[in-house]
Structure 1
């Protein structure tokens, strides 16, 4: 899984940092906007990342589940 965030779209709802705290952080000193901690989270975090994507009101989080073919 590869995770991307589009910071300019973030509305600082805090949902992502709440449900997937090992992958996202919403720091108060940054106005609560999302910070991506792990763009390639382990499989143990995938369910939480998908929930964060679903709960994001602005579509800031993008998930790519399939690996990009090399070559």
Structure 2
């Protein structure tokens, strides 16, 4: 799995950071999501999928494979 964030769509809600803090963080200046790792291990993939599902702006894209 590879993760992509569409920064212009991000509304800085922080849901992804709360669900998967090992994978996502937020910029101090504006709260926009940033990736700590774009290819998470298998043990984090369920949390990443949940983060993408609850993102209010649909700014997280998952590319399987």
TM range (shorter): over 0.9
Q: Where in structure 1 are there 5+ consecutive unaligned residues?
A: 67-71
The Cα offsets for residues 8-29 of structure 1, whole Å up to 9 and x where unpaired, read as 11000000011010110024x2
Residue pairs, 1:28-43, within 5 angstroms: 29-43=28-42
Q: Which residue is 2:46 aligned to?
A: 47
Give the Å deviation of 1:32: 1.3
Q: Where in structure 2 are there 5+ consecutive unaligned residues?
A: none
Give the Å deviation of 1:30: 2.5
Q: Which residue is 2:12 aligned to?
A: 12
Aligned residues: 65
* Matches of 2:4 and 2:18, distance apart in 1: 17
* Matches of 2:29 and 2:3, distance apart in 1: 20
Give the Å deviation of 1:52: 0.3
Question: CA RMSD of the aligned region, Å?
Answer: 0.9
Larger of the two Rg values belongs to structure: 1
TM-score (norm 1): 0.86
